[in-house]
Chain A
Amino acid sequence: MNALVAISDLVVDFRTRQGPVRALDGASLAVREGEKVGLVGESGSGKSTLAMALGRLLPPNAEWGSGELMVAGVSVRDLEGAALRRLRSHTLGYVFQDPIGTLDPTMRVARQLAAVMEAGAGAADVSSLLADVGLQDHHRIARSYPHELSGGMAQRVSIAMALAANPKLIVADEPTASLDASIRGQILDLLVSLCAAHGTALVLLSHDLRAIAHCCDRVAVMYGGRTVEVGATAEVFAEPVHPYTEALLRAAPGQERLGGRIEPIPGLPPILTGRAEGCAFEPRCRHRIDACALARPESSEIAARQVICHRAEERRPAAP
């Protein structure tokens, strides 16, 4: 399988009134064709910036620094005009957090769907597309306005729109965060099964570790604008190498036993204004050593994962 996405040492800053804020501080990630990759991180970790950078959709106050971002063999950074639109319309498909807000409130669903399909697509094509995303009642839904749909139905419509042009990669940014808990599972399942059926790669952004564990082959954990641990999902979650991954797993409620305690990570996530000179997680880390604050850790390969930590070698998991 070929690399569909290749990101290496990508740096992105945002200009703000209070000066520059660094969103990506040397992020690296590769996605192969048809692969499902999870991107985990808290708000401010840079995962949304990374996702938007894939389609060159960053807001105007963003500044691309050093590093490379290749999608399907072309450098996204230099794309302009028709080539950029082609990347967005044919190579990539986006699914966003608020499904009702991403649909035009003044247009019926059928018209919005027809607009993203090939010219000449008729009502039958719209119906079959809706049926594909599990909407049985497609006549009624095609005639509906977005506000008349439930969040779950609207997200199915958005997924249909993202898949309409048969893209190579779907980028889903917290696709279930605004939905009711009881239907999150089915929306994720739908997304994963459709991607599998079309051979489409998936980049799934979430702060919900369980969702990532459920859906993705590989996971990239982000902190302070860097991908601090990248590896096979099951292995990373079973035996995390990076202390942040470990701490994150312990902090999420749900996996503890009755009467057990979850262990919060002390302190707050960092806001970087420039290149981090040490490890960004150092102030909150239980395993920190003197070197962590002084030297910037580089990526190393440990047990088939990429880990950015000074102590990665000593934390190597026991061989299976």
Chain B
Amino acid sequence: MTGSVVELRSVDVHFASGPLWARRRVHAAREVSLGVAAGETLGLVGESGSGKTTTGKVCLGLIRPTTGDVVFDGHPFDYRRRARRGALAAVLQHPQWSLNPRLHVGTSVAEPLVIAGIGGREETRRQTGEMLERVGLQPVLAKRYPHELSGGQRQRVAIARALITHPKFVVFDEAVSALDVSVQAQILNLIRELQAEAGFAALFISHDLAAVRYVADRIVVMYAGEVVESATAETLYGRGRHPYTRGLQAASDLIEDEDARLADASEEIASEGCPLTPRCPIATDLCRTTHPALRPLGDTLVACHHPEGRAGQS
């Protein structure tokens, strides 16, 4: 993928989990490859434990991959913090914790500028006010404390802070999940508008396929730490190729689809073969023994032995 702002190449992340007496090795990400170009939004969808947040943290340099490479702006990722000040930003999930409760809203918004050492005091104040206006807030809010703001307003402030240094790459991790439907729509549209204006590369992570599909150009679906499908948003407005994608679609559209009823299995992740096997409605013996590789199918990449569904097996 040329021209990517951020690129992951076969990234694996392992870590030890649990207390000393029940220590396990967890594969949070396996062979994850993806790239985000300038002006593009990549959606990343999956449920809890799918590795989507880990992948986001790898892109931000918060976690170093166990194996594999991270490329930022054409160069290997530089983990010294000076190197990337102001170039990366994130908007995270919890509105109640998105801002330091002890700081004025304006101080929080200006913090990335101060860290990057851009502009004097007057300049910083002017830019903070402008940025607040751009996310649809009144500049006087800069003098308030976070607890005086609503959840939607706090997420707007978090977006203002993320964009104030004109970063090349922004991660939105479940940025609208905790908001009410009517406010969620406001924030989703704001993200779309700001990206069209500023042209940053964005990674939009969510468990909600409907929200991801709405803001993203391309979508990566993850399950059990692996990429199982990578397709354009257009494709996912239709029928997904991977049974897991179809399960998510059935949930968000509540459509009846025989191939989409994922079981709620007790041991959810298979240790051998395809990780979805215990829950998959169309699993075969091949799935139990052989791990499916990610392979192209039209303009989609899919990791499934039976991407055409039950009909395709015959």
Confirm or deny: A42 has a beta carbon within 8 angstroms of a beta carbon on chain B: yes
With the chains together, A263 CA to B181 CA distance in Å?
11
Across the interface, which residues of B come within 8 angstroms of A266, CB to CB? 186
Interface residues on B, range: 35 or more
What 0/1 readout, one digit per residue, does chain B (217-252) give for beta carbons within 8 Å of chain A?
000000000000000011001000000100110111
Near B by CB (< 8 A), chain A positions 251-285 give 251-254, 256-258, 261-266, 268-269
- Say whether B182 contacts A264, CB under 8 Å: yes
What is the total of A-B residue contacts with beta carbons within 8 Å? 100
- For A186, give its contact among B48, B152, B211, B261 (CB under 8 Å): B261
The answer, yes or no, to whether A72 is at the interface (CB within 8 Å) is no
Known contacts being A181-B207, A181-B252, is A268 close to B266, with CB within 8 Å? Answer: no
Q: Which residue on chain A has the smallest CB distance to residue B45?
A: A181
B185 at the interface (CB under 8 A from A): yes
Which B residues are CB-close (under 8 A) to A234?
none
Assembled-state Cα–Cα distance A133/B264 (Å) = 12
From known contacts A181-B252, A254-B252, infer whether A265 and B182 are also in contact, taking CB-CB under 8 Å: yes
A296 near B: Cβ within 8 Å? Answer: no
With A42-B180, A207-B181, A268-B183 known to touch, is A262 a contact of B248 (CB < 8 Å)?
no
Question: Among A7-15, A16-24, A193-201, A208-216, which stretch is in contact with chain B?
Answer: A208-216
Asked if A251 contacts B182 (CB within 8 A), the reply is yes
B290 at the interface (CB under 8 A from A): no
Chain A positions near chain B (C-beta within 8 angstroms): 42-43, 137, 140-141, 150, 152-153, 156, 180-186, 207, 209-211, 213-214, 247-248, 251-254, 256-258, 261-266, 268-269
16 extra A-B contacts, CB within 8 A, seeds A181-B47, A182-B251: A43-B180, A150-B264, A153-B264, A156-B264, A183-B262, A183-B264, A185-B261, A207-B180, A210-B254, A211-B254, A248-B181, A254-B210, A256-B214, A257-B237, A258-B234, A265-B186
Using CB atoms and an 8 Å cutoff, list the residues of chain B in contact with chain A: 47-48, 150, 152, 180-186, 188-189, 207-211, 213-214, 233-234, 237, 244, 247-248, 250-254, 261-262, 264, 266, 268, 279
The 6 closest A-B pairs by CB, nearest first: A254-B210, A264-B185, A180-B47, A152-B264, A265-B182, A251-B185
| A-B residue pairs in contact (CB < 8 Å), sample of 15 | A153-B266, A181-B209, A182-B279, A183-B264, A185-B254, A186-B261, A253-B211, A254-B210, A254-B213, A254-B253, A262-B185, A262-B188, A262-B189, A264-B186, A268-B150
